[in-house]
Amino acid sequence: MFSFSEENYLKAIFHLQNSYKNGVSTNALAEEMQTKASSVTDMIKKLSEKSLVIYRKYQGVKLSEAGRAAAIEVIRKHRLWEVFLVEKLDFNWDEVHEVAEQLEHIKSEKLTAELDRFLGFPQRDPHGDPIPDSKGNFSVANRVLLSELKIGETGICVGVKDSSVEFLQYLDKNNISLGASVKVKQKEDFDQSMLIEMDGNTLMISNQISTNLYIKTP
């Protein structure tokens, strides 16, 4: 089994691999992990010795198949617990992250499997991210950023890219929630702000908002 710290590194590398296809840089990982580059180098070496990552000095790091599987397992647990907290324990979607960060490290195959069943094998977490199944498979979302829609286009809000407390609370305050229908009424070329209609309400949103909302188009 892996330590909490190892699991957190694997998870971070997994998330950063989207942006760093040719290997995640030490500094990027240090930033993500809120730690120093030297600590990252140390840990990468350990993960490399355990064959969880592929690493060449100064060349960045990638997950091996084993590392990817381990990362996905942690992400599966994280997202299942988030569903549990929201659906069963009445947490708001901006309150679940910190607790799920702890719960994701609990080691028990039976626990994960039974939790999944208890929740009804959910496909998405409260932020719209896909939940890997027990074999590590998950649907790569067929979704685009709201900012990519043209005037007149419509869709359903299906996820958030930024899941910080601040952003989620902004969304709550403006009655933007997953499942809502969206239509782009106007776009401002100057600052990319948008006038949208969401579940009937019309509101103006900045580029920072529209680049952090995922939409499923018809």
Partner DNA sequence: TCTAAATTTTAGTCTTGTCTAATTTTATTT
Partner DNA sequence: AAATAAAATTAGACAAGACTAAAATTTAGA
Interacting residue ranges for DNA, rule: CB under 7 A:
3-6, 25-28, 33, 35-46, 55, 57-60
Residue closer to DNA by CB (options 8, 163) is: 8
Under a CB-based contact definition with an 8 Å cutoff, are residues 217 and 155 in contact?
A: yes
Q: Which does 37 bind (CB under 5 to 8 A by kind): DNA, a copy of itself, none?
A: DNA
Q: Which does 5 bind (CB under 5 to 8 A by kind): DNA, a copy of itself, none?
A: DNA
Q: How many residues does the chain have?
A: 218
Q: Give the pair of three-digit tokens for residue 53.
A: 């990552």
Long-range contacts of 137-144 (CB under 8 A, 24+ apart): 138/72, 141/214, 141/216, 142/216, 143/214, 143/215, 143/216, 144/214, 144/215, 144/217
Which region, judged by CB under 8 A, interacts with a copy of itself, from 108-116, 120-128, 156-164, 174-182? 108-116
As measured in angstroms, the least distance from the Cβ of 112 to a copy of itself is 10
Among 49, 56, 59, 118, interactor with a copy of itself by CB under 8 A = 118
Angstrom distance (rounded) from CA 117 to CA 165: 28
Residue 169 binds a copy of itself (CB under 8 A): no
